[in-house]
Amino acid sequence: MINPSINSKQSNPPVALVTGCGRRLGLFIAKQLLQQGYRVLGHYRSRSAELEQLERDGAELFQADFTQPAQINALSEWVNERCSMLSLLLHNASAFAETASTAKEMATQFTEFYHVHMLAPALLTEQLKALLVKADNPSIVAITDIYIHHPNPALATYCATKAGLDNLCQSYARSLAPQIRVNTIEPGPIMFLDSHDDEYKQRILAKTPLAQEGGFEPIWQALAMLIANRYMTGSRIQVDGGRSVAEL
């Protein structure tokens, strides 16, 4: 449950930056934060009809391609210009694909995934921590993956760079304490992609003790708890229907 002090509209509401808010989980969380009374600054890579509605609901949006460091820096400058403090920095932006089949393609893919999963969170954290320390109970949360502990060879590049994000957050949990708390959420099979067929879905759910998709709501519930709990930093919250204790 989120801190009751941010449940209602305020003259100076808490501010959240959500990266990757253009679709799926990031879009869902941005909507939830708006409903909770946050001023939401959202980053996206590609424009969509959902983003137009999010903007009408009150979100302030910035387009940036995280494979380009200059655009990461531009996002930080934009945030610094628009607010005097930041309560939540959510590293949600993600790149996902099966591992490239050739060394040349893998080099390109690894560079892209490294920029999205590791360099962007590092630069944003460094460039926005001065805003975070001005807020009451500031929090950084990164969305990683249960695969960081049990990597899938078919997703080696994705798993490795998500594991790098986890390690980065563990370092920040130490270096930014006690002023800023840093935690991570590790989703499991929360929402299948449109490209996943029924055979794939059934195979994954058969290895998931709770035997169902979680949806985005359980991730939001974990995030709300991390925001509210002032005595948690360096924590990894698995939200995966028990899949991490089963055979991946």
Q: What is the tens place of the pLDDT at every residue in 37-74?
A: 999 999 999 988 899 999 999 999 999 999 999 999 99
Residue 213's pLDDT band, with cuts at 50, 70 and 90, is: confident
- Give me the residue label for tokens 């909507």: 31
Minimum mean pLDDT range among 10-24, 99-113, 148-162: 10-24
Which residue type occupies 131? L
35 in any annotated domain? yes
Half-sphere exposure of 72 (CA within 13 A, CB side): 20
Q: Give a yes or no: residue 22 inside a domain.
A: yes
> Which runs of consecutive H residues, i.e. helices, occur in the chain?
24-35, 49-56, 69-82, 103-114, 120-132, 156-175, 198-206, 217-228
- At 217, list the tokens: 């709501």
The domain of 36 spans: 4-239
User: Looking at the domain assignment, is residue 230 inside a domain?
Assistant: yes
- Lowest average pLDDT, out of 49-58, 82-91, 193-202, 206-215, goes to 193-202
**Three-class SS state of 230:** coil
**Confidence tier at 2 by pLDDT (50, 70, 90):** low
Q: What pLDDT is attached to residue 5?
A: 42
Question: Edge-to-edge strands of the sheet including 39-44?
Answer: 60-63, 39-44, 15-18, 88-91, 139-143, 181-187, 236-239
pLDDT category of residue 204 using cuts at 50, 70 and 90: confident
Q: Is residue 89 part of a domain?
A: yes
* pLDDT, tens digit (0-9, with 9 covering 90-100), for 95-151: 998 899 999 999 999 999 999 999 999 999 999 999 999 999 999 999 999 999 999
| Residue 246 belongs to a domain | no
Q: What pLDDT is recorded for position 177?
A: 98
Residue 6 pLDDT level (bands cut at 50, 70, 90): very low
Domain count, the chain: 1
Residue 92 forms part of a structural domain: yes
Tell me if 244 is assigned to some domain: no
CATH number for the domain that contains residue 112: 3.40.50.720
186 torsion bin: left (phi>0), alpha (psi -120 to 50), beta (else): beta
Banded model confidence at residue 11, pLDDT cuts 50, 70, 90: low
pLDDT at 32: 98
Catalytic residues: 158
- Residue 248, in any domain of the structure: no
Count each helix (H run) and each strand (E run) in the chain, helices first: 8, 7
Say what the pLDDT of residue 81 is.
98
What integer best gives the mean pLDDT of the chain?
A: 93
Burial of 128 (0-12, 13-18, 19+ CB in 10 A): buried
The secondary structure of residue 184, as a DSSP letter, is E
C-alpha span between 162 and 103 (Å, rounded)? 20
